[in-house]
Amino acid sequence: MNYYKESDNMNEIDKSYEEVTFDKLYDTVASYITKSSELDTITKAYKYAAKRHEGKKRLSGEDYISHPVNVAYILTDLNVDYVTISAALLHETINHGGSTYEDIKNEFGSEIAGIVECISKINKLTLSDDKEASAINLRKVLVGLSEDVRVLFIKLADRLHNMRTIWALDPEAQKQKANETISVLIPIAHRLGINSIKSELEDLSLRYTKPDVYNDILEKLNDSRETLNEELDEMKQTLATLLSEQGISFYIKARVKSVHSIYEKMAKGKKWNEIYDILALRIIVDKVSDCYLAIGLIHSKFRPIPKRFKDYIAMPKENMYQSLHTSIFGIGGYVYEVQIRTHEMDEIAEKGIASHWSYKEHTAGGVQNVFEQKLELFRNLIEQHGESLADSEISKEISNEALGSMIYCFTPKGDVVELPADATPVDFAYRIHSKVGDTTVGAIVNDVMVPLDHKLQDGDIVSIKTSNSGTPSKEWLNFVKTSQAKNKIKSYFSKQDREEYIKKGTVLLEREIRKRKLSISEVLNQDNINKICKDLKLDNLDDIYLSIGSLRFTPTYILNIIYQDKKDVQDILLERVGNRKKQNETDYKSDIIVSGFGDIKVSIAKCCKPIKGDDIVGYITKGEGITIHKSDCKNVSNTERLIDVSWNVNTTSEYYTDLVIRTVSGKNYLLDIISLASTKDIYIDSFNTKEEQIETVYKITVKISSVDKLNGFINALQKLKFVKDVERVNN
């Protein structure tokens, strides 16, 4: 059921695509979905979509309904369930058909409606080949894509059909869409193992990003068409005879490698006449034992190329890919790449995760497998790093671990460890166990001692040397590639830093207590500790020491909570500013104007996070300058330390502030919130989601220029029907 045929000859290298009708789609679906109620739902979805798109045309000239029909047809090659087919037919009805989620839910139920709504939201977001924009939008897209694996299928099929008809766009738009496909969608297809879609997207993207290169390779292939077809036919016949004589049941697929795969070889510096392995054969057999029998027969007949044999049956890739790979010198002096696998292995290789989301398995309850674990990687990268990583870092993490090229290394016992390209022994160690990583002192790769920043290669056998006295090094952060290793190393040093800060804070606070000729035990009695913790929102005495050691608060500030010492505010200010000159507002370059003083250290309070337009005050901290608070912040109760400040109207800086958004329960509305922020040109820096029994609570941190703009965003949020309440967090 491939949309375009995999041919044994070269006549179809430059593919033309068949636009299918609903009748053909229905017949294909009915070949594996047999329940009449499910087929009726598919027909109903088609009629609903056709009515919504009636009278509309695509840029390519076809009726608009042809697009969802063809998207659904592409998905039949993956044997997806009726819900996915129905959602594919409906996937444009919200954005381009005037329907709402409620409309679709009432007609088709919440499962189909949820998938359609998710696709609609994602399609509103702009993917971009621009690095900065892509870094921001990649996170937003993946948040949506990881909600339901079937959304991934539809998005990939949607892009494939759009790429097939991309000729209708102007050259600039063609290139942009192709670059989007390369940077975001092809890697997703790759990581999910859906090679049937990935390969075609690669060729189409190359065709529109590098048309001269694409056409040059295509022309060379066409010039060699007759010879290559003859060699393939003869090689197929020879192998067929060889296998038949041993009673092996088999099926052989022969092909010339794709334009894109040849381009990749040329991009590495090879010239056309230096590329020998452009002919590929895939042998499909019934049993695993036949795979090994076949490889033995082929190697006895044709000379294999050293180091090109791979046994992914005995040692599967982590994405469950299994096959025997070899390259041989075959008929006509050509190098042939040969893959041998069973029918089940071939289905996994072509359909990836979709082979475990087939109609039969899904209706029987589905299976939990490593592919679902891979989807969790999307969520974990986003949720775990949402607040701690910049967008560009998130993009890099996802690209490396969820979307990028992978290598497969082995433990001395033969266990497979999947890692991103250029990973190091330290990454390998943390993949084994965090304790192994923390105590790593050396590594042996293929029986050779290597430095810890050594870049591992596919197939390396890695042995990690540990020591009870071994500890991580901050230098490791300069070369490790996996987020797992980075997080464990940072966690180790964060814990170490905490202990150091507590020790430092203890010394500083006790020194100040002794300086005042007070008793440490009397000052730090439980009542006083409770008072300090309550005022500063800390948990215990260690947290108090930590806040001092990390320079968040001074010992004087802590003691003043207990004793409310009154020191003259002018003395405090003059200790900080010395004899610095006065300055007029028009000369002052900071965002904050401090009454009567310039060139003074000013910081924005993290507790209330004021933004331009808020009423503000300055709070003087001895030795640390002035912190700007909202005037109603409860952390500025000591009025003796306050000083007049104002916003500088001549600056346009943006500031961080927090919102709490409460929505009705039962659905994830995060993508709606992100989409709205995007339309308002508001940057969401981080977010947390908490599911409660009667509602869902989203805490988001936004970067924004003024109170007016924030209020406009809040008003827009409150107009969303699923939003119960929006509140700015003041402390």
Which pLDDT tens digit goes with each residue over 356-381?
Answer: 655 444 443 433 344 455 555 555 54
Other CB atoms within a 10 A radius of the CB of residue 443 amount to 23
Q: Do 610 and 616 meet the contact criterion of CB atoms below 8 Å apart?
A: yes
Output the DSSP codes for 379-404: HHHHHHHTTTS-HHHHHHHHIIIIIS
* Same domain assignment for residues 107 and 237: no
Decide if pLDDT at 396 tops 60.
no
In a domain, 382, yes or no: no
Q: For 266-274, what is the mean pLDDT?
A: 78
* Same domain assignment for residues 444 and 523: no
107: CATH = 1.10.3210.10
* Same domain assignment for residues 184 and 249: no
Candidates 430, 400, 431, 434; CA nearest to 418 is 431
The CA radius of gyration of the chain, in Å to the nearest whole number, is 32
Beta bridge partners of 279: 256, 336
pLDDT band at residue 594 under the 50/70/90 scheme: confident
* Same domain assignment for residues 66 and 173: yes
- The b/e string for 608-618 (b: 16+ C-beta within 10 A; e otherwise) is bbbbbebebbb
**Helix axis angle, 82-90 relative to 110-124, nearest 10°?**
50
In a domain, 417, yes or no: yes
* Same domain assignment for residues 573 and 553: no
Candidates 23, 21, 146, 30; CA nearest to 82 is 30
Whole-number pLDDT of residue 45: 97
In a domain, 284, yes or no: yes
Q: For 44-62, what is the mean pLDDT?
A: 93
For 659, what's the count of Cα atoms within 13 Å in the CB-facing half-sphere?
Answer: 27
Q: DSSP 3-state assignment of 331? A: helix
Q: For 585-612, what is the mean pLDDT?
A: 70
**Distance (Å, whole) CA 657 – CA 409:** 45
Residue 24 carries which DSSP code? Answer: H
Q: Do 325 and 314 meet the contact criterion of CB atoms below 8 Å apart?
A: no
Q: For 447-459, what is the mean pLDDT?
A: 91
* Same domain assignment for residues 527 and 628: no
Q: For 197-207, what is the mean pLDDT?
A: 94
**Distance (Å, whole) CA 94 – CA 78:** 25
Structural domain for 419, as ranges: 405-432+439-468
Tell which wins on pLDDT, 611 or 622: 611
In a domain, 367, yes or no: no
* Same domain assignment for residues 230 and 186: no
Structure pTM? 0.62
pLDDT band at residue 497 under the 50/70/90 scheme: confident
pLDDT band at residue 584 under the 50/70/90 scheme: very low
* Residue 69 Cα distances to 94, 98, 154, 160, angstroms: 16, 18, 12, 13
Q: For 9-27, what is the mean pLDDT?
A: 67
Most confident segment among 206-220, 541-555, 579-593, 690-704 = 206-220
**Distance (Å, whole) CA 639 – CA 468:** 54
Which pLDDT tens digit goes with each residue over 119-129?
Answer: 888 777 655 55
**Distance (Å, whole) CA 10 – CA 19:** 22
* Residue 51 Cα distances to 20, 94, 96, 263, 271, angstroms: 18, 13, 12, 44, 53
The separation between CA 379 and the C-alpha centre of its own chain, rounded to angstroms, equals 8
- The b/e string for 633-643 (b: 16+ C-beta within 10 A; e otherwise) is bebbebeebbb
Q: DSSP 3-state assignment of 723? A: strand
Whole-number pLDDT of residue 549: 82
* Same domain assignment for residues 539 and 679: no
% pLDDT > 90, the chain? 37
Number of domains present in the structure of the chain: 6
Tell which wins on pLDDT, 334 or 662: 662
User: Last residue of some domain: 588, 612, 641?
Assistant: 641
pLDDT band at residue 579 under the 50/70/90 scheme: very low
**Distance (Å, whole) CA 571 – CA 577:** 10
712: CATH = 3.30.70.260
Q: Do 201 and 186 meet the contact criterion of CB atoms below 8 Å apart?
A: yes
Which pLDDT tens digit goes with each residue over 510-523?
Answer: 988 888 888 888 88
Q: Do 727 and 695 meet the contact criterion of CB atoms below 8 Å apart?
A: no
In a domain, 561, yes or no: yes
Output the six-digit token pair for 232. 């393939």
* Same domain assignment for residues 41 and 189: yes
Q: DSSP 3-state assignment of 147? A: coil
Candidates 136, 132, 48, 134; CA nearest to 94 is 48
**Helix axis angle, 195-209 relative to 343-351, nearest 10°?**
40
User: Last residue of some domain: 543, 565, 587?
Assistant: 565
Q: Picking from 332-341, 378-387, 555-564, 573-582, which range would have the lowest pLDDT averaged per residue?
A: 573-582
**Helix axis angle, 541-549 relative to 555-563, nearest 10°?**
140
**Distance (Å, whole) CA 296 – CA 300:** 6
* Same domain assignment for residues 167 and 60: yes
**Helix axis angle, 526-536 relative to 555-563, nearest 10°?**
110
Q: Picking from 98-112, 278-292, 429-443, 506-520, which range would have the lowest pLDDT averaged per residue?
A: 506-520
The contacts of residue 639 (CB under 8 Å, 6+ apart) are none
CA angle 242, 244, 247 (to 5 degrees): 125
In a domain, 646, yes or no: no
CA angle 113, 117, 120 (to 5 degrees): 140
Output the DSSP codes for 401-427: IIIS-EEEEE-TT--EEEEETT--HHH
* Same domain assignment for residues 490 and 533: yes
Output the DSSP codes for 432-495: H-HHHHHTEEEEEETTEEE-TTPPP-TT-BEEEEE-TT----GGGGGT---HHHHHHHHHHHHH
User: Last residue of some domain: 537, 565, 593?
Assistant: 565
- Mean pLDDT for the chain? 81
List alpha helices for 670-706, DSSP H. Answer: 670-679
Residue 311 carries which DSSP code? Answer: E
**Distance (Å, whole) CA 246 – CA 295:** 12
Beta bridge partners of 625: 621
Which pLDDT tens digit goes with each residue over 612-642?
Answer: 988 888 887 765 678 888 888 888 766 667 7
Output the six-digit token pair for 234. 């003869």
Which pLDDT tens digit goes with each residue over 237-251?
Answer: 999 999 999 999 999
Torsion, CA 227, CA 232, CA 233, CA 235, rounded to 10? 120
* Same domain assignment for residues 67 and 164: yes
Tell which wins on pLDDT, 13 or 169: 169
Residue 728 carries which DSSP code? Answer: E
Decide if pLDDT at 588 tops 70.
no
In a domain, 391, yes or no: no
Whole-number pLDDT of residue 606: 87
420: CATH = 3.10.20.30
Torsion, CA 431, CA 436, CA 442, CA 444, rounded to 10? -50
Q: Picking from 73-82, 263-272, 301-310, 541-550, which range would have the lowest pLDDT averaged per residue?
A: 263-272
pLDDT band at residue 4 under the 50/70/90 scheme: very low
* Residue 634 Cα distances to 190, 191, 562, 607, 655, angstroms: 53, 50, 16, 9, 20
**Distance (Å, whole) CA 617 – CA 284:** 75
Decide if pLDDT at 277 tops 80.
no
Q: Picking from 107-111, 124-128, 386-390, which range would have the lowest pLDDT averaged per residue?
A: 386-390
Output the DSSP codes for 622-666: TTTEEEEEETT-GGG--GGGEE-EEE-TT----EEEEEEEEEESS
Q: Do 723 and 717 meet the contact criterion of CB atoms below 8 Å apart?
A: yes
Which pLDDT tens digit goes with each residue over 291-336?
Answer: 999 999 999 999 999 888 989 898 887 667 899 999 999 988 888 9
Decide if pLDDT at 571 tops 50.
no
Q: For 22-44, what is the mean pLDDT?
A: 95
In a domain, 334, yes or no: yes
Decide if pLDDT at 280 tops 60.
yes
The contacts of residue 594 (CB under 8 Å, 6+ apart) are 600, 602, 618, 626, 643, 645
311: CATH = 3.30.460.10
Decide if pLDDT at 349 tops 90.
no
Which pLDDT tens digit goes with each residue over 143-199?
Answer: 555 567 788 899 999 999 999 999 888 888 899 899 888 888 888 888 777 888 999
Whole-number pLDDT of residue 385: 46
Whole-number pLDDT of residue 38: 95
Q: For 378-389, what is the mean pLDDT?
A: 46
% pLDDT > 70, the chain? 81
Residue 364 φ/ψ, nearest 5 degrees: -90, 5
